[in-house]
Amino acid sequence: MKQALIFDMDGTLFQTNSILEPALIGTFDVLRKNNLWYEDTPIDTYREIMGVPLQVVWKTLCPSHSLEIREKSNSIFQEKLVELIKNKRGSLYPDVESVLEKLGSDHELYIASNGQIEYLKAIVDTYSLERFIKKVYSIQSIPSGQKSDLVKMIISENKITTGAVIGDRLSDIMAAKENGLTAIGVNFDFAQMEELKQADKVIDHFIELL
């Protein structure tokens, strides 16, 4: 059995910060036009919570709004993200494609992301990641919405016995540890040092995975 490597997407493979600001601004512009928001777009707040489940994102960004408005806001946000991705406004981190190609020769590669299915599909299709990735898993497939449960499902479905989870946030690190895998933290845009301290290993550049 090949060793499995399970990657987070946002802030690990894909430079989400390149499309985050325009998508958020567009979303909150719509809210302003409907008199549902009167302040600046909360970009910094979103960066602080990047990687948490989407229901937590919108509860944090719009604490005074109803569940219906939060869900509508998320739908608008997702549409704008997908549009930006398809227009190639985003990008993968340096060396991602070459590293995945090399790792794929003797590892099984998976993606486990808190991103929604259409969003992940847009990234995979735009950058042809299916060349390297065996399967992409979205948090939408897990009722609990927990990354640890998503990784557990990946392990079960693919009969994984050894491997690592690579990601930038605590949810990725804990998903590895709670499932008996190595936790590799990536010190990229959204990473926080206090969280990375809990990883087994930390890398500053993607090519270090080799």
User: Are 103 and 204 contained in the same domain?
Assistant: yes
What does DSSP say about strands 135-138 and 163-167: parallel, antiparallel, or unpaired? unpaired
- Residue 192 maps to which CATH number? 3.40.50.1000
* Alpha carbon distance 147, 165 (integer Å): 11
Q: Could you say which residues of the chain have pLDDT below 70?
A: 1, 51
Please classify residue 164 by burial: count the beta carbons closer than 10 Å to its beta carbon, then call 0-12 exposed, 13-18 middle and 19+ buried. Answer: buried
pLDDT at 47: 78
Are the CB atoms for 166 and 188 separated by under 8 Å? no
* pTM, rounded to two decimals: 0.90
* Segments forming the whole domain that contains residue 71: 17-86
* Alpha carbon distance 73, 52 (integer Å): 16
User: Are 118 and 180 contained in the same domain?
Assistant: yes
End residue of a domain, out of 86, 105, 133: 86
Q: What would the 3-class secondary structure string for 72-92 be?
A: HHHHHHHHHHHHHHHCCCCCE
User: Are 110 and 175 contained in the same domain?
Assistant: yes
End residue of a domain, out of 55, 86, 117: 86
pLDDT at 1: 63
Domain count, the chain: 2
